[in-house]
Amino acid sequence: MATEIQIAAKKLACFNPATGELLHEFVCSGEAEVREAVARSRVWQLPWYELSVQKRIAILGKFQNLLHENKSEIAQAITRESGKPYVEALTTEVLVVLDATRFLIENAHRLLREEPVPHANLAMRTKAGRILRQPYGVVGVISPWNYPFSIPGTESLAALVAGNAVVLKPSEFTSMSALHVGSLLYEAGVPKDVFQVLPGDSGSGVALIGSGIDKLVFTGSVPTGKRIAQLAAARFLPVVLELGGKDAMLVLDDADLEVASSGAIWGAFVNAGQACLSVERCYVQRSVHDAFLAAVVNKTQRLRVGNGMNPEIDMGPMIHRRQLEIVEQHVEDARTRGARVVTGGTRLPELGPNFYAPTVLADVTHEMRIMREETFGPVLPILAFDTEDEAVQLANDSEFGLGASIFTRDRARGEALARRLAAGTVLINDVVCGFGISEAPHGGVKSSGIGRTHGSFGLEEMVTIKYVASDRLPGIKKAWWFPYGAAFTRQIEGLLDMQFAASLKHRVQGARRAAGCLFGKKL
C-alpha cells in the first residue's frame, strides 16, 4: 500500500495520505549518526546558553516573523504530509506555534530569572539563597505525526529559549514538517548544531534515548511511552511523556444542544479524529440524549470529506492504512456487541486510500473497545447517563486521563464537575483547544503521561533547579560544626524551644539558654 512507510536500505518514504503520492524519501538516522549529532549539540549548547535569554528571545522574534511570512507555504506542506485541511494546518499548527512563540517572547525572561529564597529559620538567616533555572543540556524530542509541526515546534522552542540544545526525532510519517521548524530556526539565527532534526524510525528513537541526552520530551502512544519510560528509567533520564487520550465529553441536561452538538462533531472529527485531545466518548444526560443525538447525526451527515487542499472540505483522510484499520476494528467490535451505527461506519475508497466516513455510534457500553481503547479516528460514540455521579463514574472509568469537556449553561455546575474528573485539562463549553492556549499547561494523568508541556509549567520542564546560598558572615564558624559537647547541646535545646515551644514563657527561657549558641566555635 502506497501510504505505508517503506523501510529499505535504511530509507524512509513519506506519502500524501490523501492521494498516495510519494512526497519525500529520507535516509533513516542510525545509532552512530544520532550519537554524533548529540555530541555536536553538546559542544554548542554552552555558548548558546551563555548568549543570554534576551538574545535567544530576539532570535525567537525573528523566527516568529519568518513563520508568519511563510505561513501559507508551511501550512500547505503540513497538509500534503498529514492530510489535514489547510485551514487546520493554519490554525492548529502555524497559529499554535506563532502564539507559543509570543508566550515565550513575553514571559521567558521573567520565568527563567533567578529568584531569591528568604530563609525563616533563625540559624540560616545569614545566608542569601537563590534559585537558578539552568538548562538540562541536550534535550531529545521525539514527536508523532498528528500535529507534525506544532508538537515538535512548541516543545523545541521552550527547550531552546531556556538555553538547551535540541535533537529532534520526528515521526517517520511527517519528517518534512519537522524539517520546516529547523529551516526557520536556522534562518532566524539558531546555530545548526543547537537544533538538529534527525529523520528516523523507532530505532532512531531508541538510539536517541541511549545517546546521552539530558532530558527527553516524548509525545506519542501509551504503548511506546511505556517502552520509553523503561529505557529512560534504566538511565535515570528525566522524561516528559505526552501520551494518548480517550477524552470524555459530558453534555448536561441544561446544555445548549445546538452549541454542544457542534462542539461534539468538531471535537470528534477535527484532524479526522486523530488528536490526542479528541472527543472519544460522549456522555449525554438522558432527558436530552435523543435531541442531542439527532442534532449530531444531522450535522455529521453535512460534513464534507476530501483532500485537505480543497478549502471546501471539513475533514481529510486518516494518516495511513494501519490507523484506518484500528478504527474499523473498533467500530466492528462495537457493532457486533450491539452498538448502533447511526451514520458512517465505512471507508470512502472513492476519495482516496485512507478516507473513513465520520461516524456516530449509539447504544454503546463500556465493555466495547470503542469506549476503552484510544481509537484515534473519526468516530463519536454516545452514551446516556442519568445522574452527575454516574457521569463522573463513567468518565473516570478509563486508563487514560488527558482531557475532558463539559457542556452546561451553569458555569458553577460545570466547574464543580470539572474538579471530579481525572484529567489534565477540563474545558467547559469547548473541546480540544486547550493545546492551543499557550498559557495553559498541556499533559495528562494516569496512562496519559507524566509532566507538562506549554505555558510556564512546560518551560519549567526544560530547566534544572539549582539552589545557591552565600553566607553573609563568611568569617564566622557555624554553630552546627564541630566540636559538640554538653553545653552546646543545652544551647541547641534552648534554640529549639525558642523557635518552636508552644508558650511564650518557654520560648523566652529557650532564648536565654540558646544565647551565644550561634557564635564562638573553636574548631
When the beta carbons of 19 and 224 are compared against ligand NAD, the nearer one is: 224
The interface with ligand NAD within residues 367-396 (CB under 6 A) comprises 374, 376
Mark the segment that binds ligand NAD (CB under 6 A) among 127-135, 200-208, 286-294, 327-335: 200-208
Q: What are the cell numbers at 190?
A: 539558531
Mark the segment that binds ligand NAD (CB under 6 A) among 10-18, 114-122, 239-247, 501-509: 239-247
Cell 552512530 belongs to residue: 32
Given 228, 293, 318, 440, the residue binding ligand NAD (CB under 6 A): 228
Given 45, 219, 375, 398, the residue binding ligand NAD (CB under 6 A): 219
Mark the segment that binds ligand NAD (CB under 6 A) among 20-28, 101-109, 218-226, 409-417: 218-226
Q: Is 247 in the site for ligand NAD (CB under 6 A)?
A: no
How far apart CA 53 and CA 61 sit, in angstroms, is 12
Residues in contact with ligand NAD, counted by CB under 6 A, come to a total of 30
Q: Is 425 in the site for ligand NAD (CB under 6 A)?
A: no
Mark the segment that binds ligand NAD (CB under 6 A) among 1-9, 37-45, 71-79, 240-248: 240-248
Q: Which of 382, 224, 182 is nearest to 295 (CA)?
A: 382
Round the CA-based radius of gyration of the chain to a whole number and report it: 27
Given 245, 317, 414, 458, the residue binding ligand NAD (CB under 6 A): 245
Is residue 373 annotated as part of the catalytic site, yes or no?
no
- The string over 319-343, giving b where at least 16 C-beta atoms fall within 10 Å of a residue's C-beta and e elsewhere, is bbbebbebbbebbebbeeeebebbb
Residue nearest to ligand NAD (CB): 205
How far apart CA 365 and CA 114 sit, in angstroms, is 53
Q: What are the cell numbers at 203?
A: 530505532
Q: Is 105 in the site for ligand NAD (CB under 6 A)?
A: no
CB of residue 308 to ligand NAD, shortest distance in Å: 18
Is residue 258 annotated as part of the catalytic site, yes or no?
no
Q: Which of 84, 241, 206, 200 is nearest to 148 (CA)?
A: 84
Q: What are the cell numbers at 252?
A: 448536561
Q: In what order do the strands lie in the sheet with 425-428?
A: 340-343, 359-362, 379-385, 279-285, 247-251, 403-407, 425-428
CB of residue 104 to ligand NAD, shortest distance in Å: 18
**Taking CA 233 as the corner, what is the angle to CA 228 and CA 239, rounded to the nearest 5 degrees?**
60
Given 276, 288, 315, 370, the residue binding ligand NAD (CB under 6 A): 276
Q: Which of 159, 151, 199 is nearest to 179 (CA)?
A: 199
The interface with ligand NAD within residues 141-180 (CB under 6 A) comprises 142-147, 151, 169, 171-172
C-alpha distances out from residue 362 to 6, 203, 281, 359, 398, Å = 38, 41, 11, 10, 19
How far apart CA 193 and CA 51 sit, in angstroms, is 15
CB of residue 444 to ligand NAD, shortest distance in Å: 6
Q: Is 268 in the site for ligand NAD (CB under 6 A)?
A: no
Active-site residue list:
242, 276
Catalog residues that contact ligand NAD under the rule CB under 6 A. 142-147, 151, 169, 171-172, 201-202, 205-206, 219-221, 224, 227-228, 242-245, 276, 374, 376, 402, 442, 449
